[in-house]
Amino acid sequence: MNDSFDSRRLANRHGGLGRTCLPMRTRERTVLIASDSPFLRDDFERALAGSQELTLAGTSGIREVAEKTRRWCPDVVLLDASVAPVPGLGSLAQHLRALDYPPSVVLLVQRHAERSQLEFADVVLAAECGIPAVLQSLRLVTSGAVVFVGRSRPTKSTDLEMRQRLSSLTDREREILLLIVGGLSNREVGARLFISLDTVKEHVSRILTKLQVASRIEAAVVAVRAEHARSGA
């Protein structure tokens, strides 16, 4: 088995899906605002009403966010932890990422927030910056320009380790990983490869285990980062 993960080679087999960022689904970019503060929900709802790039999928309290996310399939879930920590954030983030259309998990915090909360989010934003700045950051997230934020830049040794983990994937797992990089959901991957949704989920679970990551987003970032390192980007 070839030890390098060549996304360009695999991309040619799937219509050029190999990209250096995570493309979002081709529809309006939607945001779900999850907060236990009705004032914050109202403020964001008013701000998004005037946005030409973002659409409000809906608002919810923290307890209802998992069900609302499953129902509305937003591109981004903004979790408000600016007043109080989100209870069970780790389990909640894991549940959201296991959905057929997993959203980017964005955490809104105060600057002095506990670091233990930050590690579960894909992106962390400071509430003190104000709603306009937060919305601008969300535009970047939904554009695909931001693929991974909130963790230190990997060292060369970490890049080497990730390439070694990628080399342990089977050809089918690499094929599925490329489609994940291309932004396809589990259901769309199954349709593309003519396999069942349950089979896709089994493959994805093995990919996450082998790469030692917690989500499809992280797996895609590993693949993109390895390709950059291989090409000298």
**Residue 22 pLDDT:** 36
Q: In what order do the strands lie in the sheet with 104-109?
A: 54-60, 29-34, 76-80, 104-109, 123-126
Are 119 and 164 in the same domain? no
The residue from 143, 171, 201 where one domain ends is 143
201 and 133 fall within a common domain: no
pLDDT of residue 229: 61
Q: What is the pLDDT of residue 3?
A: 47
Mean pLDDT, the chain, rounded, equals: 77
- Give 81-97 pLDDT, tens digit per residue: 887 778 888 888 888 88
CB-facing half-sphere around the CA of 44: CA atoms within 13 A: 29
From start to end of 61-122, where are the E strands?
76-80, 104-109
Is-contact 81 119, C-beta < 8 A?
no
Q: Please work out, in degrees rounded to the nearest 5, the angle formed at the alpha carbon of residue 139 by the alpha carbons of 134 and 145.
A: 120
Residue 12, C-beta contacts closer than 8 angstroms, at least 6 positions apart: none
If asked whether residues 125 and 69 sit together in one domain, one would say: yes
- Give me the pLDDT at residue 18, please: 32
Specify whether 40 is located in the same domain as 80. yes
Provide the domain limits for residue 42: 29-143
pLDDT of the residue at 148: 54
Q: Identify the residue whose tokens are 């389990």.
A: 91
- What is the domain-level CATH number for residue 119? 3.40.50.2300
124 with 181, same domain? no
Whether the model clears a pTM of 0.75, i.e. scores above it, the answer is: no
pLDDT in tens, 4-31: 444 443 333 333 333 233 344 445 689 9
- Note the pLDDT of residue 190: 93
Q: What angle do CA 22, 28, 31 make, to 5 degrees?
A: 80
- Residue 202 is predicted with a pLDDT of 92
pLDDT < 50: residue spans in the chain = 1-26, 150-157, 233
